[in-house]
Homo-oligomer: A and B are copies of this chain.
Amino acid sequence: MSEPVKILVTGAAGFIGSNLVDRLLAEGNIVLGVDNLSTGRREFLADADKNSNFRFFERDLLDEKALHGILSEEVDTVVHLAANADVRDGLKHPRKDLEQNTIVTWNVLEAMRRVNVRKIAFSSTGSVYGEAQKIPTPEDCPFPVQTSLYGASKLAGESLISAYAEGYDLQASIFRFVSILGERYTHGHVIDFVRSLYRDTSKLRVLGDGSQRKSYLYVGDCVNAMLTIMRHKTKNKVEVFNLGTDEYVNVNQSIDVICEELKVEPKRMYTGGDRGWIGDNPFIFLDCSKLRKIGWKPTRSIRDSVRTTVRYLQKNDWLMQ
């Protein structure tokens, strides 16, 4: 726990954003939340709304002036989480990633520069490693080639932030997340499977052959990691950290846990191939030793995270409509 400060969180009504907001408020900080509510849920900020240290602003950050009048020099740090987080459907609307993940990040950086806010934390992704040559993949793995518009747009965001840090003397923390699970999770394979099994328990359509190996992290552990990184003293203007657990599961193992929780035994129908979709990465597993070295460790296994997520969705089935 550190001295209370004023923090602006973009994507505040999102899955990770709202969990971070609650934590920051619990610590006594002042939090300004910004979200365009395109995928964020106002309901996720119900607790925050009860706290006088919280203010919410519905703004679209694609508007260059969105943060004018909101961001001021009293803000210590901008945690920029607002994004198009949909990896899979990037090819259906290729401008969306460019706009939401690259141009919006530029807009945030310019707004910061305008009022002299010097610290930024940014949600990047393990997808920037493309199909990594080295697994587990460390932050300084061989220079990757991008394979998804999502990864490309996030790497562009990282790059802009790093160049601003160098050029305008900002301090930047960049988080390369694996997929996150837990309370307020709203999109990804777990909700897709649970939703499908709610409709029909007899069968389950699985993209690919079910062997894709992925890594996941519990949202509570993710928020801990973000705060650990943001509060870590460093001389570097830019610090890049992988955020994940030291394990992975394949899609079939994840389905096992979901089915066990839901007490169903569907027939699994595989679409085939080692990838779920174009740009899908058959093996994501990050080397998170850099993060562990600064004192963080996860509290939950991937299986526990899947379980928690299924239970949360069962209790909040309005999210599945």
A contacts, CB < 8 Å to B: 90-91, 94-95, 98, 102-103, 106, 109-110, 113, 130, 133, 139-149, 151-153, 155-156, 158-160, 162-164, 166-168, 238, 240, 278-279
Q: A156, B152: Cβ atoms under 8 Å?
A: yes
Contacts A91-B167, A98-B160, A149-B167 given; does A133 touch B140 at CB 8 Å: yes
The interface centre, meaning the residue of A98, A160, A163 with most chain B CB atoms within 10 A of its CB, is A163
Chain B residue with minimal CB distance to A277?
B167
How far does the Cβ of A227 sit from chain B's closest Cβ, in whole Å?
22
The interface centre, meaning the residue of A91, A103, A155 with most chain B CB atoms within 10 A of its CB, is A155
Q: A162, B146: Cβ atoms under 8 Å?
A: yes
How far does the Cβ of A319 sit from chain B's closest Cβ, in whole Å?
29
Which B residues are in CB contact (< 8 Å) with A162? 130, 145-147, 152
Which B residues are in CB contact (< 8 Å) with A139? 143
Question: 24 A–B contact pairs at CB < 8 A?
Answer: A90-B163, A90-B167, A91-B167, A94-B110, A98-B102, A98-B103, A98-B106, A102-B102, A103-B103, A130-B162, A143-B144, A145-B238, A145-B240, A146-B159, A147-B162, A151-B163, A152-B156, A152-B159, A153-B159, A153-B160, A156-B159, A166-B279, A167-B278, A167-B279
Q: Is the interface of A mostly helix, strand, loop or mixed?
A: helix
Which B residues are in CB contact (< 8 Å) with A147? 162-163, 166
Q: B133, A146: Cβ atoms under 8 Å?
A: no
Q: B133, A148: Cβ atoms under 8 Å?
A: no
Contacts A151-B159, A156-B159 given; does A106 touch B95 at CB 8 Å: yes
Q: A152, B144: Cβ atoms under 8 Å?
A: no
Determine the distance from Cα of A152 to Cα of B164 in the docked complex, in whole angstroms. 10
How far does the Cβ of A125 sit from chain B's closest Cβ, in whole Å?
12
Indicate which residue in B91, B152, B158, B163 contacts A149 across the interface (CB closer than 8 Å): B163
Determine the distance from Cα of A266 to Cα of B145 in the docked complex, in whole angstroms. 46
How far does the Cβ of A235 sit from chain B's closest Cβ, in whole Å?
14
Q: A143, B141: Cβ atoms under 8 Å?
A: yes
Determine the distance from Cα of A168 to Cα of B168 in the docked complex, in whole angstroms. 37
Which B residues are in CB contact (< 8 Å) with A142? 140-143
How far does the Cβ of A202 sit from chain B's closest Cβ, in whole Å?
34
Determine the distance from Cα of A160 to Cα of B156 in the docked complex, in whole angstroms. 9
Determine the distance from Cα of A156 to Cα of B146 in the docked complex, in whole angstroms. 10
Determine the distance from Cα of A155 to Cα of B143 in the docked complex, in whole angstroms. 11
Determine the distance from Cα of A142 to Cα of B168 in the docked complex, in whole angstroms. 25
Determine the distance from Cα of A164 to Cα of B94 in the docked complex, in whole angstroms. 9
Chain B residue with minimal CB distance to A160?
B152
How far does the Cβ of A136 sit from chain B's closest Cβ, in whole Å?
14
Q: A143, B143: Cβ atoms under 8 Å?
A: yes
Instruction: Known pairs A139-B143, A166-B279; list 9 more (Cβ under 8 Å).
Output: A90-B163, A94-B110, A94-B113, A102-B156, A142-B142, A149-B160, A149-B163, A149-B167, A155-B156
